[in-house]
């Protein structure tokens, strides 16, 4: 009887192990507004942060891919970090006073930048790299 109880207890423990072993790392895709390589650099730099494993923003699609440890940082905190440097996300709007300090080429809300060239990776731009 004692052996059966120990066996049931051991099996119960084994069944609960996957919940402990679940990955803490997750990937999020966040819409982040910006225009150029300077924006890309700024967005990715602010996400060089504890708990974030990878942050890659595409200037053409406006998609930010973030791989992060959800035990160390939340997706909401990631949105707030991006907004703190002047870039709106699909959930958090940057403060107007922070946005206003961005270089002209980075102003994405009400400006036409059709004459500015960018290759999608932020490598070419009229007046800056």
Q: How many domains are contained in the chain?
A: 1
Q: Which residues pair with residue 31 across a beta bridge?
A: 63
Are 65 and 73 contacting, i.e. CB atoms less than 8 angstroms apart?
A: no
The per-residue pLDDT for 19 is 46
Does residue 5 fall inside a structural domain? no
pLDDT in tens, 13-70: 555 555 444 579 999 999 999 999 999 999 999 999 999 999 999 999 999 999 999 9
Domain that holds residue 76: 23-129
What CATH number is associated with residue 99? 3.30.70.100
Are 111 and 39 contacting, i.e. CB atoms less than 8 angstroms apart?
A: no
Mean pLDDT along residues 74-85: 98
**Whole-model pTM?**
0.72
Q: Give the closest residue to 36 by CA, choosing from 71, 95, 86.
A: 86
Residue 126 has pLDDT above 70, yes or no: no
The alpha carbon dihedral of 96, 101, 107, 111 has a sign of positive
Are 41 and 103 contacting, i.e. CB atoms less than 8 angstroms apart?
A: no
Does residue 43 fall inside a structural domain? yes
């Amino acid at each position: 009887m004692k052996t059966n109880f120990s066996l049931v207890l051991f099996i119960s423990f084994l069944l609960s192990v996957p919940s402990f072993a679940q990955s803490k790392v997750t990937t999020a895709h966040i819409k982040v507004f910006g225009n150029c390589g300077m924006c890309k650099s700024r967005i990715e730099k602010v996400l060089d942060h504890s708990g974030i494993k990878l942050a890659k923003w595409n200037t053409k699609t406006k998609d930010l891919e973030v791989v992060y440890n959800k035990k160390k940082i939340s997706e909401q905190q990631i949105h707030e970090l991006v907004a703190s440097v002047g870039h709106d996300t699909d959930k958090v709007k940057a403060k107007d006073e922070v946005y206003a300090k961005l270089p002209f080429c980075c102003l994405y809300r009400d400006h036409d930048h059709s004459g500015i060239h960018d290759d999608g990776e932020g490598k070419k731009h009229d007046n800056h790299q």
